[in-house]
Structure formats: C-alpha cells, structure tokens
Amino acid sequence: MNNSRIDFLREAAPYIHKHRGKIFVIAFAGEVIENEKFSQLIKDIAILSALGTQIVLVHGARPQVDRHLQALDHDIQVVDDMRVTDSVTLQTAKEAIGALRVEIENQLSHALSMPPVVNESLGVLSGNFITAQPLGIHNGTDFQHTGTVRKINAKLIKQLTAAGSIVLLSSLGFSPSGEAFNLRYEDVASFAAKSLQADKLIFIHADAATPTLDIDLQQLDSFIEANPEQSRLLNHIKAAMNDGVERVHLVSTETKDGLLLEIYTRDGIGTMFNASQYENIRQAKIEDVSGIIDVIEPLELKGALIKRSREQLELEIDKFSVIERDGKIIACAALYLIANTNMGELACLAVHPDYKGGERGDRLLKRISQEAMNRKLSQLLVLTTQSIDWFKERGFEPGEVEDLPDQKKALYNFQRKSKILLKELLIKT
Ligand SMILES: CC(C)(COP(=O)(O)OP(=O)(O)OC[C@H]1O[C@@H](n2cnc3c(N)ncnc32)[C@H](O)[C@@H]1OP(=O)(O)O)[C@@H](O)C(=O)NCCC(=O)NCCS
C-alpha cells in the first residue's frame, strides 16, 4: 500500500469515528440513477453504512416519469417549478417509482452482501413512511394529485436505521384517507432530514460539480446567482436551511469518489452549506479590528500568538477572515503571501475561548487553504508554539528553519522557538 493510501486512512479515521451512529439523509435525482456512475455510488453508500453511519436514502424520478408520459403522448404540466399531477401522471409516477425502487433495492442489497462490506445484518427497507397532503389550488392552478409532506414516521425510521437498515424513501406519499400524492424528492429529503434531526443532508446530482467551498446562509444568495445552472436545487437547499436543517452538502457524480471524499476528508470535495443562523464566515473589514483584538489579545498574553498592534491590524486587515456571531467577532485567521515564493503563511488563527469546540478553527483553516489554492500557492506555512498537534492532525508536517524562504528565515525568532509546520496544497488544474 503506498503512502497516499495510508495518509487517506489517517485522515479518514477521525471522521469514521465521528460519523458512526449519526444519521445522514442522502438524496439523489432521477438523473443520477441513470448515470453510469450510479452503481459505484451505491457501493459507496453501502460502505458508509458498513462503517456505522445510519442512512436514509431519498430518490427522485423526474426524468423517468417524463419519459413514460412522453411515450403515452401525455402532456407534462409544470407550474412554478411544480408538476401538476393528473390521474394519468399519478399512475405513471407510481409505476416509474415502483420500478426505480426495485432497481435501487436490488443494487443496494447486492452491494451490502459483497466485499468489502459483506454484512448480513444490513439491509434496505422501503415502505409507507410518508404522510402527504394535497398541495391544493394556487393562483388558479389545481395541482390535483401533487402533494406536500405532512409527516414522516421518524420514530420507525430511527428504529430501523439504528438496527443497521438503510431506509429508502420515494417521492410518493399517502393521506390518512388512503389517497396517493406525487411529491418532490427534494421536499421529502429536507423534511426527513429535519424530522430525523439528521447530522447531514447530502444532495447528489449529475450536473457539473459546484466549487469546493463552505457557504453560509448569508452567502447563499450570491452563490445561487453565481451558479444559475444549479439554482433549482440550491433554492431547495436554501429552503431546507431556513427550515432548520443545519448542514447540507452538494456532491456531483462527475466528481470521482465524491461522496466518500466529501464525508471522510477534512477539506471535502463538494460544496458544504452551513446553516447557522447566527454565524457567518467572511473577509474582515476595517470595523472588525477591535473585535479581532478582543479575540487575539488573551492569546498574545499567553504567548500562543505574537503581538500585533492595532495599526498593524488596520494595515493588514485585507489578509484576515473572521467568523462573526450575532455581530460579534469570535474567531479569525490571516493569509500572508510570501513574495517570490509559492508559499503562503497562515497566521493568527484564533477562536475565542467561549466558542471553542465548534470546529471553527477547521472552517477557517479550510477557508484560508481555499484562498491559498485560488492564488495558486502550493504550500501553507504556519508558525505555532501551542497548537502543534492541532495542525499536525490536519495534515501539516514539521519543517526546519532551512525550509523557510529567505525573508522568513531572517525574521525567524529563535527565542520564541515556534514550530515550523508545512502543508502541501492540492493545486487545481
Ligand atoms: C487551534 C484553535 C484555533 C482550534 O480551535 P477550535 O476550532 O475551537 O478547536 P476545538 O476546540 O473545536 O478543538 C478541536 C480538537 O482540537 C483539539 N485542540 C484544540 N486546541 C488544541 C491545541 N492547541 N493543540 C492540540 N489540540 C487542540 C481539541 O482537543 C479537539 O480535539 P477532539 O476533537 O479530539 O476533542 C484554538 O485552539 C486556538 O485558538 N488556539 C490558540 C491560537 C493558536 O495557537 N493559533 C495557531 C497559531 S497561528
């Protein structure tokens, strides 16, 4: 086994531990089922399950239903991004969804019984977990058998996933009076994630990948504007976040091994949406200087950070990123470019002691790494006295004074004896 595989195992180990017993809702569009990479995706989902993550799958069926309707020469009616489900469309949806369900169950059962999984206690279950209600009449359009989710049997689903089963939900629901309704799979997924208090909601799509980024609720509108081809799904994600789903991930089938890389690597590979209503990570502004001082001063006094004057912070504010919570700065980090090198220095990474333990250091490290990669830098340097292991656990390797570029060597403070740590960055081509 070569080193990169061992490194992957080291990087993945804490995440395997962290995700064990957590509920993930993984939703994929009907297009994904038709994608040539679908069977690999199913195998990766089986691995996630075998590693102890509790999984609820939600599948779409839009292209399949459309194709059936076209074959019948029946009108496809969509109003305000919502299908109007007449009785022919409902019957078609039942048939298409039934066939897809069997196909997914078949592939998943096979994957769960084959190496490297081979776990007979795992299985896939689908059933009547969703109570639906009619969408009704809106602006004069009667949506007929199109419904919305009213309730999901979270208790039963939790019992099943806790016992190791994968639960498969489709975009059909039934009213208490026994009427069937056609639902949007995105709504089923969001509702399930919320009712189950899922740790993650992951949407898999078959379009081009969106950037590897961490997006806050506050940044979501500009992200939707910048990615118009994904606006439909992104608007669903926005609604889910506004509705209380904390973490949403977006992964493309176009990204090789995307699901496992997103879940088990520190930097991830897809786009992650963080729905804290109160916090946002952003570029620092001159008005943030006092807030940054409040965060870093106690750490300067402890010797964890070198002293920076207010004037210096004002001059260098454009190098800083901050996390703001309810108008207060609670964490910061800076990226310094080192002239004539492809190395950047991560400095002044600090989380206010009241807010430690919430992966904010990780979020800032990810943001600074991303910024460095955008600037085509290939190495990140950090000088630290008291957070050595924190960085080592995040892929930094010890370096020597000789590894520093000349201008940094000249400034190296031998009295402070900071540890020199370096991390290679993946350059995107
Ligand atoms: C490094 C730092 C930013 C991490 O803050 P954070 O994201 O809130 O970290 P958390 O509290 O969530 O800790 C995450 C994990 O790292 C560990 N950890 C936290 N600080 C650590 C440190 N200084 N050294 C080693 N491990 C540390 C925690 O124990 C925790 O481990 P666990 O997941 O096994 O429980 C924060 O400790 C800090 O502000 N340090 C002082 C400033 C500093 O030294 N900066 C680096 C120089 S630029």
Instruction: For the chain, list the domains and their CATH numbers.
Output: 3-274 (3.40.1160.10), 280-424 (3.40.630.30)
Contacts of 311 (CB under 8 A, 6+ apart): none
Choose which residue among 390, 394, 419, 420 to substitute to test ligand 1 binding: the one with the highest number of ligand atoms within 8 A of its C-beta.
390
Quote the ligand 1 centre to 362 CA distance (angstroms): 9
Give the ligand 1 atom nearest the CA of 348.
Answer: 48
Quote the ligand 1 centre to 280 CA distance (angstroms): 19
Say if ligand 1 is within 6 A of residue 361 CB: yes
With contact defined as beta carbons under 8 Å apart, do 199 and 18 qualify? Answer: no
**Would you call the peptide bond into 398 cis, given omega within 30 degrees of 0 as the criterion?**
no
Alpha-carbon gap, residue 423 to 380, rounded angstroms: 5
Mean pLDDT of each 10-residue bin along the chain, 429 residues long: 73 89 96 95 94 96 96 94 95 97 94 76 86 94 95 96 95 94 96 94 94 86 91 90 87 93 87 82 96 96 93 97 91 96 96 86 93 94 94 93 89 85 79
pLDDT of residue 217: 83
With contact defined as beta carbons under 8 Å apart, do 240 and 252 qualify? Answer: no
With contact defined as beta carbons under 8 Å apart, do 76 and 66 qualify? Answer: yes
Q: For residue 145, give the DSSP letter.
A: T
Ramachandran angles phi, psi of 122, nearest 5°: -95, 145
Say if ligand 1 is within 6 A of residue 299 CB: yes
Listed in sequence order, the DSSP H helices in 163-230 are 185-195, 220-226
Residue nearest atom 16 in ligand 1 by C-alpha distance: 390
Say if ligand 1 is within 6 A of residue 390 CB: yes
Say if ligand 1 is within 6 A of residue 348 CB: yes
pLDDT of residue 1: 47
Residue nearest atom 23 in ligand 1 by C-alpha distance: 387
Question: For residue 156, what are its two tokens?
Answer: 């039963």
In this structure, are strands 419-424 and 279-283 parallel, antiparallel, or unpaired? unpaired
pLDDT of residue 121: 65
pLDDT of residue 34: 95
**Any idea which residue has 């949007």 for tokens?**
184
Alpha-carbon gap, residue 347 to 70, rounded angstroms: 59
Residue nearest atom 38 in ligand 1 by C-alpha distance: 350
Alpha-carbon gap, residue 192 to 194, rounded angstroms: 5
With contact defined as beta carbons under 8 Å apart, do 259 and 44 qualify? Answer: yes
Ramachandran angles phi, psi of 76, nearest 5°: -100, 115
- Partners of 350 in the beta sheet? 332
Contacts of 62 (CB under 8 A, 6+ apart): 29, 30, 31, 83, 185
- Measured in residues, the chain has a length of 429
Choose which residue among 16, 295, 302, 356 to substitute to test ligand 1 binding: the one with the highest number of ligand atoms within 8 A of its C-beta.
356
Say if ligand 1 is within 6 A of residue 349 CB: yes
Q: For residue 85, give the DSSP letter.
A: B
Alpha-carbon gap, residue 304 to 266, rounded angstroms: 24
